[in-house]
Amino acid sequence: MKKSSKRLTVVLGTVLGSSLILAACGGNGDTAKTSGSSKSNSEGKSLSFRLADAHPDNYPTVLGDKKFAELVNKKSNGRIKIDVFANGQLGDEKSVIEQVQLGAVEFTRVSTGPMAEFSKPLGVFSLPYIFDDSEHEWRFLNSDKGQELLKGLESSKMVGLAYYDSGARSFYSTKPIKKVEDLKGQKIRVQQNQINIDLMNALGANATPMAYGEVFSSLQTGVIDAAENNTPSYVSANHYQVAKNLIEDGHQRVPEVVVASKAIWDKLSAKDKKIIQEAAKESVDTERKEWDKMEKDSEAKIKDSGVTIVKVKDVEPWQKKVKPVIDKYRADYGDVLDAIDKARK
Ligand code: BDP
């Protein structure tokens, strides 16, 4: 390890917790807090890792993370422990991704929205109206091409373990929105990537990229007029209490990913890698079931709380407006878009 990067990791370790200091002292193959013999990989050692998630404790992704941690613990007979840090305790998604790249945080569950700035191929999920519904999306995610995108994270110092569900995103505002034209001139918070900025420009709106944790107060104080997300986030982050106009256009389906730090991964034994990979895949079922439940609960809560809901029956005028965005990115994502088309029944 180069001297400068070692110093950076040690500083981060001091700030973020003791497990990282051991990671910085690597070289003998130790990862995070380890004990046991000093073999050149993780074989037989006790390991303790952290997983970061932006959502609160009862949110589907966090319940998925916890299932993942539980399965890893069980499959390793208690030898590998993963502590889930929910509520953005370890930082916003962008900074957590950077920490994962450094190996300072070992695992995270993040949205492919901010991930797109770190692994360009994942930007495809920020393109508008590319999936018909959840079934279409999952057929693609489970296809060879979908899995290839997960694998592609390795060139960005991460290992993609699984996709989690995140439904469809729609707009909500402090101002009335009845049709696509009403978005014109509104200041809309978006996830931090360039495609989202282009998307808002195409709609005649002003894009304001910012971290998820800042959206509630920004809506409340009028820094932004609007935002967009799935209904479980709209409810659990309390955005529905301040932005009371929801228009269900479902412009994006931006899946979540569970990733490991490649710096840590490379030090694991083949057996431990297998345990972790299998556990992540098996946890998807829990997350998806919890997702379906929370989507229904959120819809009910929104209805009961005086939110004005407009359901978009015909998305064609919306698709027309955002076509320049697809045209701009078709060259970059042509093969993936073709695979997405093929995943249509
Ligand atoms: C939610 C994702 C979360 C993102 C958030 C956002 O689950 O990971 O942080 O959107 O809009 O749907 O940034």
For the stretch 15-51, pLDDT in tens is 344 343 333 333 333 444 544 444 447 778 899 999 9
Contact 231, 167 (CB under 8 A): yes
State the maximum Cα–Cα separation within the chain, in Å, rounded to a whole number. Answer: 65
Intervals of CATH 3.40.190.170 along the chain: 3-30+44-166+255-294, 169-254+298-342
The set of residues, in sequence order, having a beta carbon less than 8 Å from that of 191 and lying 6+ positions away, is 111, 113, 114, 126, 209, 212, 254
Strand order in the sheet with 169-173: 206-209, 187-190, 226-229, 169-173, 245-252, 308-311
Q: How many CA atoms lie within 13 A of 246 on its CB side?
A: 26
Contact 46, 15 (CB under 8 A): no
> Beta strand 245-252 with 169-173: parallel, antiparallel or unpaired?
antiparallel
Q: How many CA atoms lie within 13 A of 124 on its CB side?
A: 24
Helices (H), 38-118: 60-75, 93-102, 112-115
Q: Is the CB of 193 under 6 A from ligand 1?
A: no
CATH number of the 169-254+298-342 domain:
3.40.190.170
Contact 180, 203 (CB under 8 A): yes
- The enclosing H or E element of 82 equals strand 80-85
Encode pLDDT of 223-260 as tens digits: 999 999 999 999 999 999 999 999 999 999 999 999 99
pLDDT at 38: 41
Cα distances (Å, whole numbers) of residue 246 to 249, 299, 311, 324: 9, 11, 8, 25
Q: Is the CB of 230 under 6 A from ligand 1?
A: yes
- CA triple 67-289-122, angle to 5 deg: 80
User: What residue type is assigned to position 195 of the chain?
Assistant: I
Superfamily of 3-30+44-166+255-294 according to CATH: Bacterial extracellular solute-binding protein, family 7 (3.40.190.170)
- CA triple 284-290-293, angle to 5 deg: 145
pLDDT at 252: 98
Single out the residue of 49, 265, 10 nearest to residue 157, CA to CA: 265
Contact 103, 268 (CB under 8 A): no
Q: Is the CB of 47 under 6 A from ligand 1?
A: no
Single out the residue of 85, 80, 71, 64 nearest to residue 17, CA to CA: 85
Q: How far is the CA of 278 from the centre of ligand 1 (A)?
A: 25
Averaged pLDDT score across all residues of the chain: 91
Tokens encoding 83: 């502590």
Distance CA 144, CA 134 (A): 18
Helix, strand, coil percentages in the chain from 3-state DSSP, rounded to 5: 50, 20, 30
Closest atom of ligand 1 to 114 CA is: 13
Distance CA 236, CA 166 (A): 13
Cα distances (Å, whole numbers) of residue 343 to 140, 173, 313: 5, 33, 23
Q: How far is the CA of 70 from the centre of ligand 1 (A)?
A: 24
Taking 70 as the pLDDT cut, the residues of the chain under it are: 1-40
Closest atom of ligand 1 to 232 CA is: 12
Closest atom of ligand 1 to 92 CA is: 9
pLDDT at 44: 81
Q: Is the CB of 20 under 6 A from ligand 1?
A: no
Single out the residue of 96, 54, 47 nearest to residue 72, CA to CA: 47
